[in-house]
Amino acid sequence: MFASFSRPRLHRGRLTSATTAGVLVAAGAGLVLAAPPAGAVPVPYTAKCVDQAAPAKTVPDGRVDVDIRVGPAKPAYRVGDEVTVTWVWKTYPKVPEDAAPTATPTSPPTAPTVVAADSTLPKGQIVVGGAQSGAVPVAGERKNPEAPAGSELKIADMTGKLRLTTAGQVSLTPGDFARFTKTGLVDAETRCTPASPVAVSTTLTVEDDAPGDAPTGPPPAATAEPTLTADLAAVAAGGLVTLDGADWPAGAPGVSLCQADGGGCDAAGIAANTVAVADGRLTGTATLNPNAAPGSYTVKVTVGTVQKTVPVAVQAVPRTLTAAPPTGPVGTVVKLAGSGFTPGRTVLVRALAGDGREVGDGIEVPAGADGTFTADFPVTDAATAVIRVREGSGDGATASAVFTVTPDPGPGPGTPAPGTLSMTQAGSGIDFGGATLDGSAKTLEAPLNQLTVTDSRSGGMGWSLTGTMTDLAHAGGVAAIPAGNVSWAPNCAALPGSPSQVTSGGAGPLSSTAAAALCSQSPGAPGGESGGSFTADALLTLTTPEFAAAGTYSGTLTLSLI
């Protein structure tokens, strides 16, 4: 069972600066001419951007033009002066024509994006170089006109403060920036970094403080060393680590998973994060990649030029399996429950004989976002001694439960001669199609492939056809859609010539633990007659959560006839 959702996404532009400023000395005349103090020439900037809600999606590189201005404008400044630096957009990033340019058979491209008025907040940093080093956090207002697909997203200019601490030539260059766009109740972040080295936009001349000169602005405040702590020293792969810190500069944090010595950092080692800085306080959570191997690591947080790490150990999670009942004849449907598996990964279930060889038929089920799964497994071979579940091909990714096959008790006293009770289905798989998420719940419908139940027994034995549903797991391992979000409306009928009728189950939600009736025939039917052929149909309805993550989801609907 599949469903695919996409989220409207903003195009990320990149900016490059290329203004040169310097000192021209006229040969032999002792003349010194200073360049303009605040960037008079816009700088081209090409940006490589990542949608933080869907890092795997492609966002085309974009170019904008930026001018970094300094106030007050002066030919030269003194050490200790505080100045206002402003990131001025001369041209703007564009809203992409297609919010999801890469499509798959189960995830078609979404419609063009329209960015609402006053929905986007810009933040960034200006890199300080030359005689002084560091970064200036800058931010703008959430103020922009509505921008349809293909047009410029005219976001606000960004401003910050810089204390000049070193004499010499101090350069200012556009650095990383991010856009935070309100989509319903979600603030979707688009984070951009330079695709290539960026040229200097503005250069300031800073002179030593002369005796008697008073620097402009308040005296510089002492800066404390930023701190970083984690609530857990050890966590399972795919687990959540809560981060906290003090005395951080403003800016958009980057979070990555590194080796124990701090090297080999990989942003993909963190599946998602909510880390942010407000008034110097760093808070948020980091979700480890569910495929992270057990071992010692560090989590690194970067804001501008500031980097801090905190150690964390990824623990191996034991895989478990329970089977109920543990005994029964061939044909018994065993309810399995497993835990400790990689979220979103496919788990293969097989029966093993006493000598370890595979026997009977196998099934596949997906592990949910929490690494658990449930499944109904029919025992089809008398040699079955063990039921094994395996994730991948390694023995370390398995769990098993003992099952003992008992003799078939056969017909009881007064039971008619045995016939057969069977079912067939026209086709396999259910596809709910796709929907574009916009902060509201979506309803998708799909028909159940028709089943035909044939009962050639006699004597009013009766039967029931039921269904259970697993949670719909996200292909990227994020939160699953609960099984109860899928409901059905059964419609069953007796085929012509059948000596008895059939009862349709009630409409309602499905469950991973309680079987829902699709159709049934009660024992002791009127007149003592039973049997015949019957069709079983149902309309399935999937209701998405309001704020489900974009991507492809899959689950398993298991139908049992007894």
Answer yes or no: do 145 and 202 share one domain. yes
The verdict on pTM exceeding 0.85 is no
Residue 385, judged by CB atoms within 10 A of its CB (0-12, 13-18, 19+), counts as middle
Are 178 and 251 in the same domain? no
The answer to whether residue 218 is domain-embedded is no
Q: 138 with 246, same domain?
A: no
Number of folded domains that form the chain:
4
Q: Give residue 57's pLDDT.
A: 66
In the prediction, which pLDDT does 273 show? 92
What per-residue confidence (pLDDT) applies to 29? 28
Q: Is the pLDDT of residue 32 over 90?
A: no
Q: Residue 405: what pLDDT?
A: 92
Whether pLDDT at 225 is above 50: yes
Does residue 39 sit in the same domain as residue 164? yes
Look at residue 469 and tell me if it is in a domain: yes
- Domain of residue 237: give its range: 229-315
Most confidently modeled of 49-58, 284-293, 490-499?
490-499
Decide which of 221 and 490 is more confident.
490
Give the integer Cα–Cα distance in Å for 402 and 390.
15
* One domain, residues 341 and 281: no
Nearest CA among 129, 128, 151, 125 for reference residue 140: 125
The domain that holds 263 is classified in CATH as 2.60.40.10
pLDDT category, 414, cuts 50, 70, 90?
very low
For residue 197, the model assigns a pLDDT of 83
Same domain, 386 and 448: no
pLDDT of residue 84 exceeding 90: yes
Least confident range of 38-47, 323-332, 466-475, 520-529: 520-529
The reply to whether 180 and 254 lie within a common domain is no
Is there a single domain that holds both residue 461 and residue 487? Answer: yes
Q: What is the per-residue pLDDT for 97?
A: 67
- Does 138 fall in a domain? yes
**Could you tell me the pLDDT band of residue 339, with boundaries at 50, 70 and 90?**
confident
pLDDT mean over 297-310: 93
Pairing mode, if any, of strands 404-405 and 327-328? parallel
Residue 494 and residue 391 share a domain: no
Mean pLDDT, residues 385-413? 77
Mean of pLDDT over the chain: 80
Question: Does 134 share its domain with 29?
Answer: yes
Residue 219 lies in a domain: no
Q: Quick one: average pLDDT of 303-308? A: 91
217 and 46 Cβ atoms separated by less than 8 Å: no
Residue at 411 is within a domain: no
| SS3 sequence of 103-128 | CECCECCCCCCCECCCCEEEEEEEEE
Query: What pLDDT is attached to residue 13?
Result: 32
pLDDT band at 132 (very low <50, low <70, confident <90, very high): very high
Instruction: Give me the helices (H) in 158-232, please.
Output: none
* 223 in a structural domain: no
Give percent of the chain above pLDDT 70: 80
Q: Are residues 466 and 525 in the same domain?
A: yes
